[in-house]
């Protein structure tokens, strides 16, 4: 397997403006039907023994600490879900969800988060593609968020939990880890990039920790900008100094930078100036350069800097992704299977991205940490080249994922995939 840096640097499309399409934000019903058909075909043709009929049926859906889906043979699929989900709404809709799933064959790929939200909020999800809040109805185009997730987003995160529980159940019924039934790649290990999650760390200390991690095998790393326009010129210089010191310490490393606090801002001028200032240090990507729904901001930053842009962890459903692909202003789509609508919806994002040559999918990873590795391993390296590894203590993924990290003969670190059935 190539090193992550080799795989990425050798991509001739990496710094090109990408994607066909008219560049508009209106999503037509015909496109929706085509995409749905593509996703269903992918699920059925990816080497999985899914069947439309079978003797095993869903008997019960319940919510305790996790969503649990039990079948007639006693098999239980479960998923805890994100702490960001709207659990109260999930509880409210549980009787309807139970009604929609009970008696169905759990292996049927039509059972998904989308099935649930289309039954409960018919036709609403597609409004994300028009930059309207599906439940509130208001415009969200270019507006900064007051919180990390919107109230509507938290509802869709709750549907993600049900979808992921279905995938855990399917894996257990087939006695396979989920990545082996959700795609045909069957990668038993994947490259990782190291994310320390330290916001506001002094540049000199960051450089020291980055060197230690690099020497342990983490050749690709992501660090955070912690200062926005309100921190003034001193904060701006601190952001640039972080990049400078990391690059000087690790001249051969793959270094990504996340705009962290800036993602709540609509100050395009500040983000544009920062991106231009760090460009000489060759960041591999700049992540979320502006608030999530600022399409014009993304397009301007991409167009005026030529930098590789990553984004999408805060986009819900595949509908929100397409406008950015059409405007050719995102190179790495970071849809999170725990937030975007579930693994089924994440697969739809992959099907969509395949229509835009050169664009790749690298899912954001969040608690409970276990979905993203299966997602990356299910797809070819050409589409999903690398996995995010949050190495933070406490709330981070170290306790869950570090035991799976392995050194390759060349010293770089990769993650070995779980071998147990389901989402583990």
Successive 10-residue mean pLDDT values, the chain, 424 residues: 40 35 37 41 40 76 97 98 97 98 96 98 98 98 95 98 98 98 95 91 95 97 92 94 98 95 88 97 97 97 98 98 98 98 98 98 96 98 97 84 95 97 96
Expressed in angstroms, the distance from the first to the final Cα of the chain is 24
Task: Please report the DSSP string for 3-64 in residue order.
Answer: -HHHHHHT-TTTTS----S-------HHHHHHHHHHHHHHHHHSS----S--S--EEEEEES
Number of H helices, E strands in the chain: 14, 13
Q: Where are the alpha helices (DSSP H) in 187-342?
A: 203-215, 232-249, 268-278, 295-305, 322-326
Q: Which two tokens stand for residue 89?
A: 């709404």
Give the C-alpha separation, 78 to 65, whole Å: 10
Domain ranges of the chain: 1-424
CA dihedral 156→162→164→170, nearest 10 degrees, is -150
Residues annotated catalytic, as ranges? 364
Give the C-alpha separation, 29 to 9, whole Å: 37
Annotation: CATH topology of 1-424: TIM Barrel (3.20.20)
Nearest to 167 by CA among 20, 415, 323, 337: 337
At residue 260, the pLDDT reads 80
- 4-8: list long-range contacts, CB under 8 Å, 24+ apart: 4/191, 4/193, 4/219, 4/220, 4/254, 4/385, 4/386, 4/412, 5/219, 5/220, 5/252, 5/253, 5/254, 7/191, 7/381, 7/385, 7/386, 8/254, 8/284, 8/385, 8/386
At residue 54, the pLDDT reads 62
At residue 118, the pLDDT reads 98
Measured in whole angstroms, the distance separating CA 73 from the mean position of its chain's CA atoms is 33
Give the C-alpha separation, 98 to 104, whole Å: 10
Provide the 8-state DSSP code for 365: -
Give the C-alpha separation, 354 to 348, whole Å: 10
At residue 262, the pLDDT reads 78
Q: If DSSP codes are grouped into helix, strand and coil, which group holds residue 339? A: coil
Q: Is the peptide bond before 368 cis (omega within 30 degrees of 0)?
A: yes
HSE, side-chain direction, 13 A CA sphere, residue 203? 17
């Amino acid at each position: 397997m190539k090193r992550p840096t080799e795989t990425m640097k050798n991509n001739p499309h990496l710094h090109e403006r990408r994607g066909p399409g008219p560049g508009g934000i209106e999503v037509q019903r015909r496109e929706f039907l085509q995409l749905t058909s593509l996703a269903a075909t992918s699920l059925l043709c990816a080497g999985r023994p899914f069947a439309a009929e079978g003797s095993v049926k869903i008997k019960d859906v319940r919510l305790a600490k996790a969503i649990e889906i039990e079948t007639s043979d006693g098999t239980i699929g479960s998923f805890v879900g994100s702490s960001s989900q709207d659990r109260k709404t999930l509880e409210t809709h549980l009787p309807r969800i139970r009604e929609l799933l009970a008696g169905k064959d759990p292996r049927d790929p039509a059972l998904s988060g989308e099935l649930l939200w289309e039954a409960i909020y018919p036709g609403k999800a597609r409004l994300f593609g028009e930059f309207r809040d599906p439940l509130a109805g208001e415009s969200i185009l270019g507006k900064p968020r007051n919180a990390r997730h919107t109230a509507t987003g938290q509802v869709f995160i709750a549907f993600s939990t049900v979808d992921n529980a279905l995938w855990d159940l399917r894996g257990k019924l087939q006695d396979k880890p989920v990545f082996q039934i959700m795609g045909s790649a069957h990668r038993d290990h994947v490259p990782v990039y190291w994310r320390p999650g330290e916001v506001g760390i002094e540049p000199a200390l960051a450089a020291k920790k980055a060197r230690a991690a690099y020497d342990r095998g983490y050749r690709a790393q992501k660090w955070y900008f912690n200062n926005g326009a309100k921190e003034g010129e001193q904060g701006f210089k601190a952001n640039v100094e972080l990049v400078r010191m990391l690059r000087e310490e690790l001249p051969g490393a793959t270094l990504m930078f996340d705009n962290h606090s800036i993602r709540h801002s609509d100050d395009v001028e500040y983000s544009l100036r920062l991106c231009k200032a760090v460009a000489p240090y060759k960041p591999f990507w700049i992540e979320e350069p502006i608030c999530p729904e600022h399409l014009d901001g993304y397009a301007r930053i991409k167009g005026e800097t030529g930098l590789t842009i990553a984004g999408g962890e805060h986009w819900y459903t595949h509908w929100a992704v397409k406008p950015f692909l059409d405007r050719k202003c995102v190179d790495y789509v970071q849809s999170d299977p725990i937030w975007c609508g579930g693994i089924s919806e994440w697969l739809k994002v992959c099907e969509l991205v395949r229509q835009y040559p050169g664009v790749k999918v690298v899912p954001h990873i969040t608690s409970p940490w276990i979905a993203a590795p299966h997602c990356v391993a299910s797809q070819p390296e050409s589409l999903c080249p690398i996995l995010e590894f949050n190495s933070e203590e406490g709330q981070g993924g170290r306790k869950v994922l570090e035991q799976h990290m392995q050194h390759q003969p060349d010293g770089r670190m990769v993650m070995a995939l779980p071998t147990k059935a389901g989402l583990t």
